[in-house]
Amino acid sequence: MSESIKVLLVDDDPALRGMVAFALESEGYEVDEAESQATAKAAFDNFEYPIVILDMGMPPHEHTTKEGVDVLNWISIYHPMTLVIVLTGQDAQATSYEVLKEGAFDFLEKPISESALVLAVKRARLFFQQNQKLRSDEGIQKMQINAPMGEGVKPVRNQAEEKMLRQVLADTNFNVHESARRLGLKRENVYYLIKKYNIERPEYEGQ
């Protein structure tokens, strides 16, 4: 592997986390671990993870997909470049439909094999790197938009506008002047959009 990539592993089962971490670290990946929705979100305070491996069933709702879907939805809004590989022991057909709708990159059904997991992470890594190349070489930002039919173009435009703004602000560490330059907008327009979408400046480490 030409460069190390850090992966966030979110699962409440320490035995499974140990197995997954060992398999990925053997392939040269760095792995951080989280055991809940709260610790998964907190992990992003210190690092922008390109890949997340996310269990769907976690306490206090371990017999449903609620906790996992909440994390997936949060990542899709606040960290849209992050690729999420979902793990689940729930009903595969229903869960795969739900998580793909929420923006998951890939889906693995438990019990998972180490080889299938490693292949899924390699696909995500390649996809992430090609997205980065598109952004740097051609200025193209790939985004997923869930467009409800029959409601006109305004919801789609707002969703795309918010996602792009959040990504550029994240890329610039909330530098409004630089964000405005990249977006081709005036600074006052960027401030207006920040207020419109209720975007708060994150507390970066060391501030």
Query: Could you read off the pLDDT of 98-135 as tens digits, one per residue?
Result: 787 778 899 898 888 999 999 999 999 998 888 788 77
Sheet of 83-88: strand order equals 30-34, 6-10, 51-55, 83-88, 106-109
The contacts of residue 83 (CB under 8 Å, 6+ apart) are 50, 51, 52, 105, 106, 124, 127, 128
**Across 74-99, average pLDDT:** 82
Q: Could you give the CA distance from residue 158 to residue 91 in angstroms, rounded to a whole number?
A: 33
Q: Indicate whether 205 pLDDT > 50.
A: no
| pTM listed for this prediction | 0.75
Find out whether 9 and 101 touch, Cβ atoms under 8 Å. Answer: no
User: pLDDT tens digits for 37-75?
Assistant: 999 999 998 888 999 999 988 888 888 888 999 999 899
Q: Report residue 16's pLDDT band, with 50, 70 and 90 as the boundaries.
A: very high
The backbone region for 200, taken as left when phi is positive above 0, alpha when psi lies in -120 to 50, beta otherwise, is beta
Q: How far apart are CA 132 and CA 136, in angstroms?
A: 6
